[in-house]
Structure 1
């Protein structure tokens, strides 16, 4: 297990979680009530500092309060180790994504105490997690960040076709949802922090996957991949088809829809479109971002009164359903870990890639 305790040279050393101790009693109680996920995350960092290398990438200020934005790293520091990046909470009101990641991380850390299989996995792979990307939005129980900007409409990339009114991203102002931010302005602090992490920990790896957790209005869980800004197939579409087929062969009874976002709608400013093309500019061989959209209509259908609660539109409100969601995606997260580590066993060669690209056309394009 020695490799798990060695941070790479360019990674900030494990941090002492002092931010919580500096908060006044009133602020601490306010955080406990409004953003318990952050306190739970800080507790995990404090308890597992020997395994979990944590970095406060930035501090977001809101009404004189400081909200830390953490990145966490486990596993190999070898420069050629494949990397899995997990993110959640980009939309503050969709807090179930952060909760799923934190619950899975807690389970993973416990298994690292005794499970030699997991220990061996993490010795060969780098795992990077940013569970709470929008702490101010979560505190305010809103989609946007503290500046009223939708972080997943904030990247400098424009759609090549019509987008849904407002929902595809707009620049009218932060008084309306899905606001992109100012034209030619810098990305918001949260997204800039994410970009720093990706440049430091992901773009320098020969293979990397991403899973970004959201909850959305739909009756089924969906695994979406770029593009969001255009209807044309992404350049590495064959790799996505290969990953889809690997998932379906491994778990034939799954209930996810695996598809490109663009077959449903286009949007401006999608982060993963932006980072995909940044990875191409860095000559990274393989970069596969995915978004998990948990179908929140399933929870609303079973509890229609959630329609009258904004948070209830995006998060399960009844305890047993909440617990079910926390365990529902464990298999997917474990699969992403294994698929990232064993990518050489399923990535298509050039001849097979041509066949898979044709398969993608028949499926989606």
Structure 2
């Protein structure tokens, strides 16, 4: 049994888009989650090239059930693509060269219950089988005390939760098998600025692909010189145990000569609260824009960056060669992000 559109509108909208995209979208249910009388699907959608070596851009949202805006932004981008496919031959050509993967609602049970965690009380972003290499902040960095406290990792040695296991399975199957894969995971709930974070979350050491991340940032800044994003390693603010993207990034480094760039969009929800402090009295208010005009602004703000990642995935032979991958870019990145480490 499915919840009503009123109870979980994001799932209803996702399934509407699956129907709308018939003939273009390919959808599968990666996992199912039981919540009371409901059985909720964790959907995965693919669009574009079926070639085994096609580059991939992937978009994830709803890992934290309170952060509905992340799911909504991805659904808005998917709607944009499906509408354009009706008339845009250039988009058709682009998608013949690139594969897009969407997992917009990773934690439907948490979203239905208005919880950050999944129905079992586990924070999915603390649930991977990896520990931070350095000390983490109490509670927020992940703990095993029990699900009655936020940021619970789950029991030691336990299998991953179905939702986080499904996300990892999709990344292993759809992204880590490709020569080039870019991923964007959409979140909210931190800071006054919109930030693009990259691993590691469990260590302050620079990642191996730091030069490529800096190149990506540089190309976006050149194309959109008035953009508002702060690009930085997540470890600049806090460290965590069990980060899913740390786990998957480290897994990608074991697989040889492939480039996997996982990014997190952390929407600056404190700015929405600053402009409307009454949002603090709503369970969803600290994580989502409530005023209609702010919601509409957010829904269109991030489309350019998502389109940029789609185009960048299809342009690997050009942006990953020559001077763009020189040692100079890694040195510039070290100076920008790690000069105090």
2:25, 2:318 → 1: CA distance? Answer: 28
The alignment partner of 1:33 has SS state of coil
CA contact (8 A) 1:226 1:289 kept: yes
Cα distance, 1:349 vs structure 2: 4.3
Residue 144 of structure 1: aligned partner: 117
Residue by residue over 1:114-141, the C-alpha shift from the partner in whole angstroms, topping out at 9 and shown as x without a partner, is: 0111111111000000000000000011
CA 352–32 in structure 1, closer or farther in 2 if over 3 Å, else same? closer
1:212 matched to 2:189: no
1:267, 1:353 → 2: CA distance? Answer: 31
CA contact (8 A) 1:239 1:353 kept: no
1:343 matched to 2:312: no
CA 110–166 in structure 1, closer or farther in 2 if over 3 Å, else same? same
Residue 88 of structure 2: aligned partner: 115
Q: Which runs of 4+ in 1 moved over 4 A?
A: 348-352
Residue by residue over 1:24-53, the C-alpha shift from the partner in whole angstroms, topping out at 9 and shown as x without a partner, is: xxx64xx32221000111111122221110
CA 338–352 in structure 1, closer or farther in 2 if over 3 Å, else same? closer
Deviates more, 1:351-360 or 1:293-302: 351-360
2:84, 2:223 → 1: CA distance? Answer: 22
Residue 224 of structure 1: aligned partner: 197
Q: How does 1:165-204 map to 2 (within 5 A)?
A: 165-204=138-177
Query: Could you state the TM-score of these two structures normalised by the residue count of structure 1?
Result: 0.90
The alignment partner of 2:284 has SS state of helix
Residue by residue over 1:148-206, the C-alpha shift from the partner in whole angstroms, topping out at 9 and shown as x without a partner, is: 00000000111111211100111000000000011111111011111221222111111
Within the candidate set 254, 260, 274, 1:287 is matched to: 260
Residue 68 of structure 1: aligned partner: 41
Within the candidate set 305, 315, 321, 2:294 is matched to: 321
Flag structure 1 segments of 5+ consecutive residues without an equivalent: 1-22
2:293, 2:274 → 1: CA distance? Answer: 15
1:60, 1:321 → 2: CA distance? Answer: 32
Cα distance, 1:104 vs structure 2: 1.1
Query: Could you state the TM-score of these two structures normalised by the residue count of structure 2?
Result: 0.97
CA contact (8 A) 2:123 2:150 kept: yes
How well do the aligned residues superpose, as a CA RMSD in angstroms?
Answer: 1.3
Cα distance, 1:284 vs structure 2: 4.8
Residue 272 of structure 1: aligned partner: 245
1:351, 1:107 → 2: CA distance? Answer: 31
Residue 249 of structure 1: aligned partner: 222
